[in-house]
Structure 1
Amino acid sequence: MRRRDFIYLSGLGAGSAMIANSAFGKSIYQEQLLTTIDIRAKKELADVALNTAKAKGASYADIRIGRYLNQAIVTRETRVLNVANSESFGVGIRVLADGCWGFAAGNTVTKEGVAKIAERAVAVAKANAKLGSKPVQLAPQKGFGEVSWKTPIEKNAFEVPIKEKIDLLLTANGEAIKLGANFVNSTIFSINEQKYFASTDGSYIDQDIHRLYPNFQVTKIDRDLGAFETRAALSSPVGMGYEYLTPSESEKVQGVVTRYKNRYDMIEDIKNATKNATEKVAAKSVEPGKYDLVLDPSHLWLTIHESVAHPTELDRVLGYEANYAGTSFLSLEKLKSGNFHFGSKNMNIVADKLQAGSLGAVGYDDEGVKCGKWDLVKDGVLVNFQAIRDQAHMIGLDHSQGCCYAQSWDDVQFQRMPNVSLQPGKEKLSVDDMIKNVEKGIYIVGNGSFSIDQQRYNFQFGGQLFYEIKNGKIVGMLNDVAYQATNQEFWNSLTAVCDQSDYRLGGAFNDGKGQPSQSNAVSHGSSTARFNGVNVINTKRKIG
């Protein structure tokens, strides 16, 4: 065995398991991450599949030829734990026959192979039709011909030498240790989805999608107090290239927590994180009660994700997710009424599949619908849900909203949330301006643990950092903080949102849904927001 092979193979293992979706496949070398498949060959395969499906009796068919590339680099203190590169490549074919869906997939990506997969998909649909009741009703969709879309990256993460990434992570770890951290681990995850979609509607869509997620966690132990605290990175997973990790001073924004507008400085963040973890050990425990909360976008994204984005998924509203991930307190009746007040007039929530830099940004979804943007909540009133082609008619739409997704070629596509974001306030308002007007409050930064009930109605959220506000000033750090509320109560307490200059994205790299479970990546944006009179509890466990 060559030394290179030994080092490569010994780098697999736990790091591979951390790669952010089930598309993890065979191990490959770094240089193989930069190869592509000829688009003409993909079109020829697609035509074979579509023609075969129609010949076997399908009224509609689509094919997804997917090549999913992943890289995970995992470190701890001074060591590299894992470097793992993987590729998953195959074909998924979905058809309508006798009014029912059928799906089949395989990794024999030849003309003969895709023909057999198409035959199997039609056979599945016809078998399903014997048990089905109402035929599938698809929203019309025009074909786009041959088109393409690519994440507008500046620097492909796979082109960056592994050594450069390892050097960054170990340098970051070293800074944390130098400042007194007892433990530190750091990671960089990179993903490239090369997806080709074709359908009998007449679309041949080639997409090249990139995502990046740098992360770390530092731990500080106080042996005298017998206590420890952690602080994770305030980075966000993004739909960007490696340029995300090359911030410029012009993007730097000073505040209670230093940040960059669209980039991320891992070294600066890990230095701050180590200091924060040290401060948290000695921070006073919060007194339970009612507080005005000032929520940073690095925290608020998760609250938006769990309490707004998931409840507005139409399949969840209809009960399709009840067995696995719950339903929704929202209903078709609440939408049709036109006057269901989800939140205050400051609550404007938008779904957006094109948002630059976001995890969910694509040109076309996984059933060939051109992506766009739409309102979910307008001036506090529920105005729409998230729907795909076979759901659109259920809420009176004549078109899909383009939010269909499958995590890999061997998974059937279904409704997944787009980027769902709270819109900035229209009047000029900075974080400092907002804090000046708070008499008794808590400023919360970073996401932490959470819990939410089966209908996404009652919830509890923690965070990373908690700062006490008294008479318009930050007076120190708090600990053991979580807030509780019902969904409507919380969003109706929204009294102010900072302007566009404070707007930032957070997001989930691997949000789970469905049976069999699938994972997708999605971003949620906001500016800092204020919620008045929210119930805060103390989470510190008492022993004895």
Structure 2
Amino acid sequence: MKRRDFVGLTGLATGALFLPSIPGFGSTLVTPERLLETVDVAVKKRLADAALNAAKSAGASYADVRIGRYLNQSVFTREKQVQNIASGESQGAGVRVIANGTWGFAATNDLSEAGLAKAAQTATAIAKANSKVQKEKVILAPQKGFGEVSWKTPIVQSAFEVPIAQKVDLLLSANGKALEGGASFVNSALFQINEQKYFASTDGSYIDQDIHRIWPTFTVSAVDRSSGKFRSRQALSAPMGMGYEYLVPKAKDKIAGPAGSGLVGYKMSYDLLEDITAATREAKQKIMAKSVTPGKYDLVLDPNHLGLTIHESIGHATELDRVLGYEANYAGTSFATLDWKKQNKPYGSKVVNIVADKTQPGSLGAVGYDDEGVKAGQWDIIKDGMLVDYQKIRDQAHIVGQDHSDGCCYAQSWEDVQFQRMPNVSLKPGKAKMSVDDMVKNVDKGIYIAGRGSFSIDQQRYNFQFGGTVFYAIEKGKITGMLEDVAYQANTQEFWNSCAATCDQSDYRMFGSFNDGKGQPAQSSAVSHGSATTRFNGVNVINTARKIG
């Protein structure tokens, strides 16, 4: 389908040819107009009360209900064509209870008072059945009720209100920039999510939330026909907890990479056309780039790259359920056990200050309240290099001697039970003024890395290997040219103890994971990781193109 043939078909919602593993995608297909409908809060409160009253009457000592309407829209293009557009909706309710000291859960898509009452009764019956084999009773950290409150992602414009033709035109215009620049192949996509969630509990909370997320992305590939070599460069965008205003570029949000690289980073808005133009140029340069010589290098890591390393080696490693071994069946446990923490070993150098934050504006994890009615906040995980806390929810707090939840409980949909999920986990920027160029000037032999790439980490979140999107050699304080085939290897303690410096707040940006998997059955969540450009000294770099042995 050509662009000129498509403009008049703004109501199209085709069957999905390809949908990623993102919560909400793959739900019932609907017209784009239906995505703009809302549900009266008074109706949701009446349904919630039906569930709570039924649970108490059935013998539950505690109950909460989540009434959810999960909306999504995705647009896929390739070269000059629209590949797919899908608009989806999923709605229903999940009821969680404690009876006889044990959890029970049931979900329903029957959004009537009778339907929710039946789900509550089923959840209570399940809890009572589970109590016969439960060894320890559930202990919930106390939580006051907030009454009737609401929270909404502070967006300027809902992406769902923007005509599909306008979104298609933007993506195809971006593809056109790549093709004009000499790209051999290009695909682009735009994902939009809206979670309309209503939470109520026997603690006395009635919380209505409207959460928005957006992710523009692309991949550009260049092929050298004479040699048969090809290279690709992905978008340097970050998925954000924002509306369509993210795709309206603002000059103040642009952050230049080190002199000689030509890279540009983005803060709270994103220039898709600028990034894809640069990506096309860099994809062609990558074909001719020098292959890295293995050895020890000082690494200067861009925030769009470092976020993934933070996610895997700190974010997952400090989830309390993983630390306790409850999550061992999905990607392992953690080396940072309670016993390890008692030994007071440094997690990193004194430069390393890691904060968890569910309130950070524009982040994927930003909410007003979590999925068990706890007000969102922030707390230290690593302070001056030392592990000081974990991520925990209401039924975990007592295990570490605390009397409150961190507010990081989440379920990917109404039909899934909520459990501990990663909040935004970020590296604080340096206090002293330092630009990226200032940092590079202090590097004698190093590599600058931007963008996410392939990675691998072991079952204890300890030994790892990370690649990237683009790499530049640093020699005697200057960028000297592009490199290829770069990956670095380390263990978590060794790596974070090699952290030597981080740029100041002016360079701070967010990386995002739109579909972070965890749990059995598996669930997906979205989370951001912020940092400024950061230097790590003496890290082992390998050449991924060389054969071993």
Q: Which TM-score band applies after superposition, normalised by the shorter structure?
A: over 0.9
Task: Give the residue type in structure 1 aligned to 2:158.
Answer: N
Further displaced range: 422-431 or 23-32: 23-32
1:459-478 alignment runs, 5 A limit: 459-478=464-483
Q: Does the CA contact (< 8 Å) of 2:24 and 2:90 recur in 1?
A: no
| 1:472–1:6 distance in 2 versus 1, CA, 3 Å | closer
Aligned residues: 540
Q: Does the CA contact (< 8 Å) of 1:8 and 1:83 recur in 2?
A: no
Is the partner of 1:66 in helix, strand or coil?
A: strand
Report the Cα distance in structure 2 between the residues aligned to 1:451 and 1:378, rounded to whole angstroms: 26
Q: Deviations over 1:120-153 (max 9, x none)?
A: 0000000000111110000000000000000000
Matching residue within 435, 443, 446 for 1:438: 443
The answer to whether structure 1 residue 391 and structure 2 residue 396 are counterparts is yes
The answer to whether structure 1 residue 28 and structure 2 residue 30 are counterparts is yes
CA-CA distance at 1:542 after TM superposition: 4.4
Task: Give the residue type in structure 2 aligned to 1:427.
Answer: A
Q: Does the CA contact (< 8 Å) of 2:13 and 2:30 recur in 1?
A: no
Specify the alignment match of 1:307 in structure 2: 313
Is the partner of 2:242 in helix, strand or coil?
A: coil
Q: Deviations over 1:41-75 (max 9, x none)?
A: 00000001000000000000000000000000000
| 1:7–1:258 distance in 2 versus 1, CA, 3 Å | closer
The answer to whether structure 1 residue 407 and structure 2 residue 409 are counterparts is no
Specify the alignment match of 2:3 in structure 1: none
Q: Does the CA contact (< 8 Å) of 1:24 and 1:88 recur in 2?
A: no
Report the Cα distance in structure 2 between the residues aligned to 1:222 and 1:60, rounded to whole angstroms: 64
Root-mean-square deviation (Å): 1.6
Is the partner of 1:48 in helix, strand or coil?
A: helix
1:40-79 alignment runs, 5 A limit: 40-79=42-81
Report the Cα distance in structure 1 between the residues aligned to 2:465 and 2:266, rounded to whole angstroms: 28
1:132-211 alignment runs, 5 A limit: 132-211=134-213
Specify the alignment match of 1:263 in structure 2: 269
Matching residue within 13, 16, 23 for 2:16: 13
| 1:231–1:298 distance in 2 versus 1, CA, 3 Å | same
The answer to whether structure 1 residue 483 and structure 2 residue 488 are counterparts is yes
Report the Cα distance in structure 2 between the residues aligned to 1:109 and 1:73, rounded to whole angstroms: 30
Report the Cα distance in structure 1 between the residues aligned to 2:70 and 2:17, rounded to whole angstroms: 19
Report the Cα distance in structure 1 between the residues aligned to 2:540 and 2:252, rounded to whole angstroms: 38
Report the Cα distance in structure 1 between the residues aligned to 2:190 and 2:9, rounded to whole angstroms: 22
Report the Cα distance in structure 2 between the residues aligned to 1:209 and 1:473, rounded to whole angstroms: 43
Task: Give the residue type in structure 2 aligned to 1:537.
Answer: I
Specify the alignment match of 1:374 in structure 2: 379
Is the partner of 1:311 in helix, strand or coil?
A: helix
Q: Does the CA contact (< 8 Å) of 1:95 and 1:101 recur in 2?
A: yes
1:358-369 alignment runs, 5 A limit: 358-369=363-374
CA-CA distance at 1:25 after TM superposition: 1.7
Task: Give the residue type in structure 1 aligned to 2:15.
Answer: L
Is the partner of 1:393 in helix, strand or coil?
A: helix
Further displaced range: 413-422 or 224-233: 224-233
Q: Deviations over 1:432-472 (max 9, x none)?
A: 00000100000000010000001010000000000000000
Q: Deviations over 1:243-299 (max 9, x none)?
A: 000012233333331233321000000000000000000001000000000000010
Calculate percent identity across the aligned residue pairs: 66
1:238-387 alignment runs, 5 A limit: 238-255=240-257, 256=261, 257-337=263-343, 339-387=344-392
Report the Cα distance in structure 2 between the residues aligned to 1:460 and 1:169, rounded to whole angstroms: 33
| 1:456–1:144 distance in 2 versus 1, CA, 3 Å | same
Is the partner of 2:22 in helix, strand or coil?
A: coil
CA-CA distance at 1:11 after TM superposition: 2.4
Report the Cα distance in structure 2 between the residues aligned to 1:222 and 1:291, rounded to whole angstroms: 30
Report the Cα distance in structure 2 between the residues aligned to 1:325 and 1:484, rounded to whole angstroms: 19
Matching residue within 510, 513, 519 for 2:518: 513
Report the Cα distance in structure 2 between the residues aligned to 1:9 and 1:211, rounded to whole angstroms: 22
Q: Does the CA contact (< 8 Å) of 1:252 and 1:258 recur in 2?
A: yes
Task: Give the residue type in structure 2 aligned to 1:298.
Answer: N
Q: Does the CA contact (< 8 Å) of 1:197 and 1:206 recur in 2?
A: yes
CA-CA distance at 1:325 after TM superposition: 1.4
| 1:492–1:434 distance in 2 versus 1, CA, 3 Å | same
Report the Cα distance in structure 1 between the residues aligned to 2:374 and 2:539, rounded to whole angstroms: 41
Report the Cα distance in structure 2 between the residues aligned to 1:99 and 1:196, rounded to whole angstroms: 25
CA-CA distance at 1:18 after TM superposition: 2.3
Report the Cα distance in structure 2 between the residues aligned to 1:4 and 1:452, rounded to whole angstroms: 45
Task: Give the residue type in structure 2 aligned to 1:533.
Answer: G
Task: Give the residue type in structure 2 aligned to 1:333.
Answer: D
Task: Give the residue type in structure 1 aligned to 2:200.
Answer: A
1:82-101 alignment runs, 5 A limit: 82-101=84-103
| 1:208–1:10 distance in 2 versus 1, CA, 3 Å | closer
| 1:93–1:452 distance in 2 versus 1, CA, 3 Å | same
Alignment TM-score, normalising by the size of structure 1: 0.97
Task: Give the residue type in structure 2 aligned to 1:43.
Answer: K
Task: Give the residue type in structure 2 aligned to 1:74.
Answer: F
Matching residue within 226, 230, 233 for 1:231: 233
Q: Does the CA contact (< 8 Å) of 2:10 and 2:164 recur in 1?
A: no
Task: Give the residue type in structure 2 aligned to 1:37.
Answer: V
Is the partner of 1:80 in helix, strand or coil?
A: strand
Report the Cα distance in structure 2 between the residues aligned to 1:230 and 1:295, rounded to whole angstroms: 20
Q: Does the CA contact (< 8 Å) of 1:77 and 1:184 recur in 2?
A: yes
CA-CA distance at 1:320 after TM superposition: 1.0
Task: Give the residue type in structure 1 aligned to 2:320.
Answer: L
Q: Deviations over 1:91-140 (max 9, x none)?
A: 00000000000000010000010011001000000000011111000000
Q: Does the CA contact (< 8 Å) of 2:24 and 2:88 recur in 1?
A: no
Task: Give the residue type in structure 1 aligned to 2:37.
Answer: T
CA-CA distance at 1:4 after TM superposition: 12
Specify the alignment match of 2:461 in structure 1: 456
Task: Give the residue type in structure 2 aligned to 1:107.
Answer: N
Is the partner of 1:533 in helix, strand or coil?
A: strand
Task: Give the residue type in structure 1 aligned to 2:68.
Answer: G
Is the partner of 1:14 in helix, strand or coil?
A: coil
CA-CA distance at 1:12 after TM superposition: 1.8
Q: Does the CA contact (< 8 Å) of 2:352 and 2:499 recur in 1?
A: yes
Report the Cα distance in structure 2 between the residues aligned to 1:496 and 1:247, rounded to whole angstroms: 30
